[in-house]
Each structure stands twice: as C-alpha cells, then as structure tokens.
Structure 1
Amino acid sequence: MSTRTETLSALLDTLVSENPESAITYDVVGDDVIVSSRADLRNRAEALCAELDAVGVRPGQCIAVMLPNWSDALVWQFAAATVGAHVIGVNTRYNTGEVAHILTAACPAVVAVPAAFHGLDLFGRLAEAAASVPDVATPVVAVVHGPIETSTIDREFDLGGGSWIAGSGVTGGIRVPDTPDRATLTAAGVDDDPDDRLAVAFTTSGSTGVPKLAAHRHSAIVRHGHADAAIMQVGEGDVGLCVLPVSGVFGFSTAMAMIAGGGALLMETVFDPSAVLRRMRQVKVTHAVGADDLFGRLYDEWHDGERMDLSTLRWIGIADFLGRSHEIARWARDEFGTHTSGVFGSSEVFALTMLWNADDPESVRWNGGGRAVEPAIELRVADPLDDTRVADGEQGELQFRGPNVVDAYLGNPEAAVRAFTKDGWFRSGDLAVALGDGGYRYVCRMGDVLRLRGFLVDPAEIEGRLAQHPGVGVVKVVGITGDGGYTQAVGFVVPTDDAPADTDAENLKAWCKSELAAFKVPAAIHVIDRMPTTVGGNGSKIRAVELREWAQNWTDRERDFRRD
C-alpha cells in the first residue's frame, strides 16, 4: 500500500478504490463463514452514518459499542469516526459495575447492543448499569442484528431515551441527549490539530485503580495501522485471526494493521479451539496476535485432535502471560515455518507498538518487548524516581513520546497529568531494559518487581527456573512482606498430570537453589491444583493479587493440595 491516509473513512475509501470486491471480513455464524467485501463494509458504514446523523450525533460525542466480534463492530467504528464521534468499546464480558463506570466516565450518547448473542442478556446488564447511575444522561439504544438479520425483535430495547434498529434506515424521530465532552487532552494531544478528532478509546487494565479510558485521534490510528502492517508484512489477500475482542486494544490494533495493509479479518466471536483451527485452515489465516493462553489452547487442541495444516500462517505476535510463549513459538516454527515475535503495547500507546525484526535472534525475538514500529515513536528507560535516563542494560521505567501516545482521557482529568513526566514523556508503568541497539526487553509491570535483599528481581527469572522442572506445569511467583518488613518471594506451582511424587516444596526450592542465587530462592512454594485467572480483552491472566493474598494468609506452612 503506497497511499497514506489520515482518517479512517479515507483509509476505507482508498481500499475500496483499489479493489472494491476484495474480502475485508469473514463473519462466523454457526459453522458458516459469511464474507463481506470492502465495498459492502463501506456501504454499511455509510448507511449507519446517515442514521447517526438523523438521531443528532454531533462531533465530539461518544458512542459505546457493546458488540461481539462481528463485522458490525468495525462498521460502527468507521461510521462514528465519519460523523466526528469517538467509540468506546464495551467488552461483552464486562459486569454491571464495569459498564456503569463507562457510562459515567464517557457519557455515551448512543449505546449499540446486539439483538441477541450467545444467550447473554447484554441489554439487561446495560439497563442495570444505567439504573445504578441515575445522574448520567440516558443514552439512545441502537439494536444490532449482527451477521444474520432476524425479522423480529422479541423485547423492548429502551433505557428511556428511545431506540432504533441499526441498519433499518428508520430512526423514528428519536434524538440523542446533549451529553458533555468528557475528554481531557494530555501532553501528547494538547497541541494536535483540533480537526483531527478523537476516534477511539480503550479501557486500561485498572491494575492501579479504577480503569482509565484512553482515547486516540484518527491520524494516530491510521498511522499506527500502516506501521504495524509494514513490520508484519501484511499484503493483499492476507487474513488475520481476530479472536481478541476489537473492543480491546490488542484486538483493535490487530484489526487495523490487517485492514491498513490490505488484508482481511476472520471475526471469531466465541473461542472454540477446534472450530477456530478448522476455520484458520479454511480461510487460510496468515497472521495472528494473542497471548500464550489463547495460542496455548490452540496448541493443545492441535496436538490432541486433528493436526490441521496451518502452513499459510506466516506471522504471530505473542504476549507471555502464562510462560508458554517459547513452547508455542517453537511449535509454530517447526510445524508451519511461522515467524514469531514478542509484542509490547497498552491502551495508552496502542498494542503492537513494539515488535522484533525478522533478523533478531529467536532467543530475543520470542520475548516481550521489541523495537518501535516507526521512527517517530521515541522511547527511553528512566529512573522512576526522577525520570532521568538510565544506562543501557539497566532496568527502569519504559517511557514514550510520539504519535501513538494517548491523546486524551475520558472522565478522568487527573490521569492526564499523572500519566506524564514534566518533560512530556508518557509513563508506561512497565519495567524494561534498553539493549543498546534500538531494542527494548520487557521485564514486568513495575508493581510486580521484587526487591530481594536490596536487589531488583524480575519474578520471571525465578519462574523460568521452576518451569524447567519436569513436574511443573504452570508457575507464578509473587512477593509479600515477611518478618522484619522485608520482601519475600513466594512461588505457586500447578504440577503436570504425570509429575514425579517428589515435586514438592522442599525439592522445588532445592531445584531453584542449584541455579539461582540464594536470595532469589522462594521463601515458600505452594503446590495448587489451578491458578486463579481473570479473563480480559487481551486474554487470560493469572490473578497475582489473589495469589499475594493466599501467600500472606499461608505463612504458617506450605500448602500442597495433593496432601492437605
């Protein structure tokens, strides 16, 4: 793609002009795959744009899109951006409190909900959330049929402000409320062109408190999509696996990279590993992005079931949440010749903001981190106490400047100040090391790093040693405050099904001691039957907070579920 555009509508227009009949999405309905061309998607976006104009959506307002991974979610993004509104994605798994927070912080004028999806009462959840925040303006509801249009709707979708069936062309004279502008510009967005409007916002993980809503402008989305597509080598006819919800930053960034590069998207709404593998073979998926929990389930299904031919799979980007990324990368390389890159990203700087190059060695490339995907993205590793740059090879906070950095926060003016240094760098909250050659190795969240005997220790170093034990399946190391106020490392291990009988705390600590410095050996190791996990927009993560609570409560003795 030689043309560079600065708005989402111009990007779609360019794609249509180059090849209107080229596939852009594959929707999944049961066992069927429904193809939409570029021209189809633009026609649907234009029709929706007319409806948004008819109900009075004005530039600067917010639209909440509570849809699964249907092509409709992309239609809403393009249509909203065309009228100057911005989209906040609402994950279909969000609970009532999380939905209420979005209603309060973003004040959407419209909420798009599915007429039906997988037996979930999403409108009921929305209604409960709206009732819990009565002081917030009541949004209009747009009912979305999805890939297969049904002739009837068997319930009323109305929060009190009215509703209409999206795509019908009939809005019934309803008008959206006059919602306030909830955006506070950041140091990165304050000097930008005001005509370059906000187009999308993502919820942050909320690991440091209430989730923030991080918003980005048109030009940043399109520019970043082109940069990612170039590194991923996306071209006409390629197909990306879109399993992660496009309401989240990793699913959205993957989708925009594939679209910007001229590719298409396999839109998976429910993750059934066997069915996903079949469809990956059917539509010839070439690219995929996800965490090792997602790829791990595909890996396990492939080995236990039919070994699908996935030889079209050229590139995967992987985030390591469960310690399986190297195992998965080796499988993909050996079976399909797939190139694997670790990734780095966040709601505030887009996903896939760092990727490794094709010529980086696997020992580096299969880990988190990477190189900035375009020269305009500046990075530094700084001392979090005074924000001075640290030497290459030393650990510090990874900080960003550039077109990818969050332009505004919705409903949180304080975040726009706290998130930036005095000299205008975005604080990622992530610990990293500059390698000296333009690459950056991700270490961990700064809140996860352990200070043991005065030394900063990445829990992954201890986890890596434990994971090498033949009886260990899944491992996580957390820190607690021990006697005397000093931090202690505590390990949690889920053994393999065929783990040797001596896979216990005593032997596992001896295993660590044979390779690690004494101060890195966990003070306690608990053998448990499963890890507590949480499912978010970017995959499943082990709940370190819950493990810390267990560790703090279990200081009397080491637990072993097989013997307790």
Structure 2
Amino acid sequence: MTVRDLLQRAIDADPDAPLVILPIGDGDDLAYSRSEFSVLVASLARQLSEHGVGEGDCIGVWLPNWPVALAAQFAASTLGAHVIGINTRYNVAEVENVVVRARPKVVLIADGFVGLDLLGRITEARRTALDAGRDWTDPVLVPIAEPGSEVADIGAYDLGGGSASLEAPAHETLADFSVVPGDPLCVAFTTSGSTGLPKLAAHDDSSVTTHAESCAAAMGLTGDDVFVCALPLSGTFGFSAAMAAVAAGSALLMHPSFRPDQLARQIPAYRVSALAFGDDMLARLHEEWQKQRADFSTLRWTGIADFNGESARYAEWLESCGAHATGVYGSSEVFALLSMWPDSVSAPQRWSGGGRMVGDDMEFRVVDETDTPVADGDKGEIQFRGPNVVRAYLGQPEKMAENVTRDGWFKSGDLAMRVDDRSFTYLARMSDALRLKGFLVEPDEIALRLAAHPDVERAKVVGVQATGETEAIGFVTVRPGAAVSGEELVDFCRESLAKFKVPSAVYVIDEMPTTASANGTKIKSGVLREWALERRA
C-alpha cells in the first residue's frame, strides 16, 4: 500500500463520494468528488513532471489549506518526489532555511492570500542567502491564486529559476503514471526550532501510508465521516489528520484560515463528525459556540493537543456535546496522532496528552539519563522505535546521529510516564520540567491548580534559578472584571499542592506571549522565563 493507493482505494470504493469541500461563501462550495480530485492530482503530477520533478526531488508547498495543497502531496508521491510544507506565516529567515536545506525544484506559492506578500519574502530570503554565500538554488515558482481568482503577473515570480502558471485539469488519470519502485521519501515537516532554526524531518511513503491507516482505525473513521481540515497541511498535526481521513474515505472540510465563527455554523450544516485541534483553537471555537449556541451534536470524535494547559476544560465541553474527547501526542519526527486514548479510559486521564499507540508496529520506552528503562510509574524521557521514526533530516544528515540512537530509538526530549506496554502519559518537555527540592515536577501540574481559581483565565508555570536553586514561577491572565493578586494565588496553591510544588511567586499579566506554528499557537515559555528573572532580580 502506498500513498497513491490510499486515494485509488477510495476512488474504487465510490468515485462520486465527496472527498474535499472548500466553503466559498453564500452557500457556494468548491467540492471535489474522489474521482474529480484524482484528475486534479494527475494533472498536477504531469505539470510537475514537465518542470523536471522526478524520483527523489523535492516540491515546496507554500499554500493554505486549498484543495491543490492536498493534491500536491499525492502528485509528488505519484512521481516519487517528496513535499516540504512551508507555513504561510514563515518569516524570511525561516523561508531561507527551508529552501536552502530542502532544495525544492518547484515551489507552489500562494498569490495574494489574505494580503500576504509571499513573493516579497522569498525574494528577500534569496538575497540574504546569496549575500551570506549560502547554497541557494532558484526553484521554479508556480503562483496559485485563491479559488475563483487569477494571478495578475506570473512573470513577476521568476527569480531566476523560472515561473509557470497552474493549468486547469484536463483528462489525466493516475493510471497514466508508472508505479515508482522502492520506498522514496514522501513528506518533510519543520520541527519546533526551539534550539535554533527548524530541522526538516522527512518520512518515507510507507510510513505515511501505514500511519494514516492506523490513525483512521483508532479514530473509527469511515466514509460517512466529515473531518475538519483547519490546521495547516504544512504541519504534522494537520497533515496526519488529513491523511487519516483520506485513508478512511472520509470527506475533508477545508479551512484555509481558521474562522471559528464560520466553523461553528458549518459543524451542524455539514454534519461534521471529527476534528483534531490544539486547545488554543478550541478556546476560540468554544467562544463562538457560546455566542451562537450552535448544535454540535454531530461531533463524534475529537482529538486535543494540550499547547496551553487548557485541554481538560475543552474536552469536558466537547463531551457535553456528545463527542468522545481524547488527548493526543506526536511530533514532526514521529508524526502527530501517534497516540490517543480509547473510550475505555476514564476522564480525566483520557483528556491528558499521550495515550495508546495507534500503530502495532511502533514501540516506546521511558528511560533515565543513561538511556536505561525506568520502573513503571517513574518519570523519564520517552523514546520511540519503528517505521514512524524520522528517516532523514533534509540538508542535515548529521542530525540523525544526534536524535536517533544506533539501535533506532528516537530521543523525543519529552518527559513521560509509562501506563502499560502500549500506553503512556505525556507530562512536559524535558527542558520545561522542574527539579524542585530534589523532586522532578511537571509545570503543568502547578498551572492546572492556578487555572482552577475562578478568577484565572490562563496559567503557565516556568522554572528559573534566580536565587541559586530552581523556583517555580507562575504567570496568569484573569477573566474580565476579575481582580486577584499573585499573593492570593500563591495561597490558593498552598491549599492543595505539596509544599515543594507551591510557586515562589505568581504574576498577573495582561496577555500571554505566544508564537504561531504549523500545528497551533503555543505560549512562549522562554519569554516568560526572561520575565521571571527580571521580576525576581
């Protein structure tokens, strides 16, 4: 089974069933049946081939969640090429990093999407790379306008490698292309980049296919489901969810820009049954649900990534609507949705990060600093082995030895605790974990206590060494009209937390510092540490 086979299987089952739905407005949709989508894929594959794309080559996809962005993945796989997704929010340095390391032959680039000047960004990235003597190769740029619009000046996109328009689909079919032998690279994701510019973690075709089928089975997806595709396909979270939907034959409801007001209306209108979001997006959707009092009873399965410590709050809300809500786990190096909790696990555990591994061919271990497995119930770094593990880092082959052991274990850098042979609980990033009075403490445990205060809206806890030993420092935003002091919140923590877990100080701030990634919006812990050191000086 290959990525191309996933699409063909869906076509063979029901060629006229909807596969991709892009709401345009005023009740008008751009929709593709499975067979229509395959024509788009085959047409795109032919045009990429005419630009010299073949086995082993890279295609850059710098597009929002338009149907052509998903089609590009299947077109690349049909040719034995791989995709590097480029988030539309990437700055000049990030774009330069991706193009230099991935060396895409062709870049599909959004023209005029929500006023973004992507051409200006890649032009500046090219200039800075060449000025610095970096090995920049000009790709062919293929500008793509929003559905219903046209590109005004295609020639303006020629930076030296040429530019081309995207032709309308003709009558090509996937059968026109020979099957590519072997197991070529299929897709690459940028990592979080917390210790510098992001790495580009690449996976092969078979791992994408196997993981998509495992996810679809774990979520119970079928051809009757409608899955929201709102997270960018350029990130592992949005990509893994979309590929699982295709593997199951589910319809994808595309959101190029996440609009919670629209989605709140669309869930009942399109009978949406499944979604996978971070708690940051669910916070915005919940706000709209309260305004509209929309009917979310069609929701059946919801996966939640805990980016900001609020997953339990929104999981409880989704289950009140009738959906199964589960915490999930994953990363660019092992795919998102690597694990999730089944119905049989009770709340609140099933709302936490981690879960049961979806693939039987994947294994994990929890180890100490010497890579020795720890006893059940003890905390340590979680490591993974199996087909999901990153196969290569584009442009940085040396990174494999740094991140993967000789016997194939990927070092996640995440703190976790083993539940059983197939399940684990994610606790925190190892770099965020706190050593307080000799005890290893996950900061979210303290943050959850702060968030339980009726006046607190959001809470985050970081560790700093301002007085010679690690201290837990809390930051909170409060609800409109509320007035609570940091001293009162420290006392609130003393009521239920062990003495060594009580934060040394809590600071009330107007707004959390955040950063947007391909997988969601996360609170910037590094900025909070700087603020904590300033306040504790």
TM range, smaller chain: over 0.9
Distance (whole Å) between structure 2 residues aligned to residue 151 and residue 105 of structure 1: 28
| RMSD, aligned α-carbons | 1.6
Deviation string 1:60-101 (CA, Å, 9 cap, x unpaired) is: 111110000001001111111111111000000111110000
Q: What is the match of residue 147 of structure 1?
A: 147
Amino acid across the alignment from 1:258: A
Question: Residues 169 and 333 (structure 1 numbering): CA distance in 2 closer, same or farther, change over 3 Å?
Answer: closer
Query: Would you say 1:321 and 2:307 are equivalent positions?
Result: yes
Tell me the TM-score normalized by structure 1.
0.90
User: Which of 320, 337, 349 is residue 352 of structure 1 equivalent to?
Assistant: 337
Tell me the TM-score normalized by structure 2.
0.95
Secondary structure of 1:507's counterpart equals helix
Deviation string 1:132-174 (CA, Å, 9 cap, x unpaired) is: 222311111112234325375476211111111122589xxxx
The answer as to whether partners of 1:393 and 1:436 remain within 8 angstroms in 2 is no
Distance (whole Å) between structure 2 residues aligned to residue 35 and residue 535 of structure 1: 29
Q: What is the match of residue 279 of structure 1?
A: 266
Q: Which runs of 5+ in 2 are unaligned?
A: 171-179
Distance (whole Å) between structure 2 residues aligned to residue 154 and residue 412 of structure 1: 33
Distance (whole Å) between structure 2 residues aligned to residue 207 and residue 392 of structure 1: 30
The answer as to whether partners of 1:72 and 1:146 remain within 8 angstroms in 2 is no
Q: What is the match of residue 27 of structure 1?
A: 22
Deviation string 1:231-275 (CA, Å, 9 cap, x unpaired) is: 101101211111100000000000001110110111101122111
Q: What is the match of residue 486 of structure 1?
A: 469
In the TM superposition, what is the alpha-carbon distance from 1:552 to its structure 2 partner?
Answer: 0.7
Distance (whole Å) between structure 2 residues aligned to residue 151 and residue 363 of structure 1: 50
Query: Would you say 1:54 and 2:50 are equivalent positions?
Result: yes
Distance (whole Å) between structure 2 residues aligned to residue 391 and residue 249 of structure 1: 31
Q: What is the match of residue 437 of structure 2?
A: 453
Amino acid across the alignment from 1:126: I
Distance (whole Å) between structure 1 residues aligned to residue 18 and residue 60 of structure 2: 27
Amino acid across the alignment from 2:409: W
Q: What is the match of residue 185 of structure 1?
A: none
**Is the deviation greater in 160-169 or in 88-97?**
160-169
Question: Residues 212 and 151 (structure 1 numbering): CA distance in 2 closer, same or farther, change over 3 Å?
Answer: closer
Amino acid across the alignment from 2:529: R
What does residue range 76-87 of structure 1 map to in structure 2 within 5 Å? Answer: 76-87=72-83
Distance (whole Å) between structure 2 residues aligned to residue 259 and residue 194 of structure 1: 22
Deviation string 1:314-366 (CA, Å, 9 cap, x unpaired) is: 000001122221221121112x2100010000000000000111111112101
Distance (whole Å) between structure 2 residues aligned to residue 438 and residue 554 of structure 1: 43
Distance (whole Å) between structure 1 residues aligned to residue 48 and residue 420 of structure 2: 50
The answer as to whether partners of 2:477 and 2:511 remain within 8 angstroms in 1 is yes
What does residue range 287-302 of structure 1 map to in structure 2 within 5 Å? Answer: 287-302=274-289
Query: Would you say 1:553 and 2:505 are equivalent positions?
Result: no
Distance (whole Å) between structure 1 residues aligned to residue 356 and residue 448 of structure 2: 24
User: Which of 454, 458, 467 is residue 451 of structure 2 equivalent to?
Assistant: 467
Query: Would you say 1:222 and 2:203 are equivalent positions?
Result: no
Distance (whole Å) between structure 2 residues aligned to residue 29 and residue 167 of structure 1: 21
Deviation string 1:507-559 (CA, Å, 9 cap, x unpaired) is: 11111112112221111211111111111111111110000001111115xxx
Q: What is the match of residue 389 of structure 1?
A: 373
Q: What is the match of residue 402 of structure 1?
A: 386
Amino acid across the alignment from 1:522: P
Secondary structure of 1:318's counterpart equals strand
Q: What is the match of residue 319 of structure 2?
A: 333
In the TM superposition, what is the alpha-carbon distance from 1:438 to its structure 2 partner?
Answer: 2.9
Q: What is the match of residue 173 of structure 2?
A: none
Secondary structure of 2:412's counterpart equals strand
Distance (whole Å) between structure 1 residues aligned to residue 423 and residue 397 of structure 2: 33
Amino acid across the alignment from 1:148: G
What does residue range 38-437 of structure 1 map to in structure 2 within 5 Å? Answer: 38-134=34-130, 135-150=135-150, 152-153=152-153, 156-168=156-168, 195-303=182-290, 305-334=291-320, 336-383=321-368, 385-436=369-420
Distance (whole Å) between structure 2 residues aligned to residue 505 and residue 87 of structure 1: 48
Q: What is the match of residue 33 of structure 2?
A: 37
What percent identity do the matched residue pairs reach?
48
Secondary structure of 1:227's counterpart equals helix
The answer as to whether partners of 1:399 and 1:428 remain within 8 angstroms in 2 is yes
Q: What is the match of residue 560 of structure 1?
A: none
Secondary structure of 2:328's counterpart equals strand
Distance (whole Å) between structure 1 residues aligned to residue 327 and residue 34 of structure 2: 30
Secondary structure of 2:522's counterpart equals strand
**Corresponding residue pairs, total:** 523
